[in-house]
Amino acid sequence: MSVIHSKSTQLYRQVRRALQSGRYLPGQRIDPGMLAVEFNTSATPVRSALYRLVGEGLIDDHARNGLHVPLLTEVGLHDLYDWMERLLLMACDIGGRPARDDITGGDDVVKMTWQLFDAIAEATAHRSLHRAVRQANDRLAPVRRAKRGLIEHAHEELVELEELWRRRNMPALKAGLRAYHARRKQLVPRIVAMLVDHRDHLQ
């Protein structure tokens, strides 16, 4: 493995984690030059890492306007919530290995959500399904981070879902996942309006 490729892979992982953590909000521009300075490297591995994320749908390439975290439309966000719900319900139907017990998000609802949904998908041992859930999880992570204040009792909601998962109560878990996504679909117009407002303040 070349030095540039190795550096690019490292940068890819670091930027991906930054996107998951909400460091970059939907609509925010990502400056390759600033990343090169931050990570003390040249532009080549930075651009390689960023365009790998473009290929995964986690960053948008706006040509002359540069690279941005995707800012979903109402239709796009509704579809993404619906897609995640369908994937998780399918995973519940497939079932699989005993539940993981390494969900360590604590009070961080965004981290807890990512870990729980990933665990449900991973338990199926269905690699394509797990990959699809991870991609949807990653695309939703910046949205989850930005909209935290819009949903009351989100932490309690996740704790209840996690407990149903630990007990392997699939009928109740499926009902809980449907309710979880229904709440968010109803809030899509408010979420998108809030994200646009955040984006406008960043510009």
Residue 111 has pLDDT above 50, yes or no: yes
DSSP 148: G
Structure confidence at residue 1 as a pLDDT band (50, 70, 90):
very low
Q: What are phi and psi of 29, to 5 degrees?
A: -80, 140
Percent of the chain whose pLDDT exceeds 90:
36
Q: What is the dihedral of CA 151, 140, 88, 171, to 10 degrees?
A: -10
Q: Which candidate, 201, 196, 197, places its Cα nearest to that of 74?
A: 196
Q: Which tens digit of pLDDT belongs to each residue from 65-94?
A: 888 888 889 999 999 999 999 999 999 999
Q: In this structure, are strands 29-30 and 67-68 parallel, antiparallel, or unpaired? A: antiparallel
As a whole number, mean pLDDT of residues 53-70 equals 86
Rounded distance between C-alpha atoms, residue 203 and residue 201, angstroms? 6
Residue type (1 letter), 149: G
Q: What is the pTM of this model?
A: 0.82
Type of residue found at 181:
H
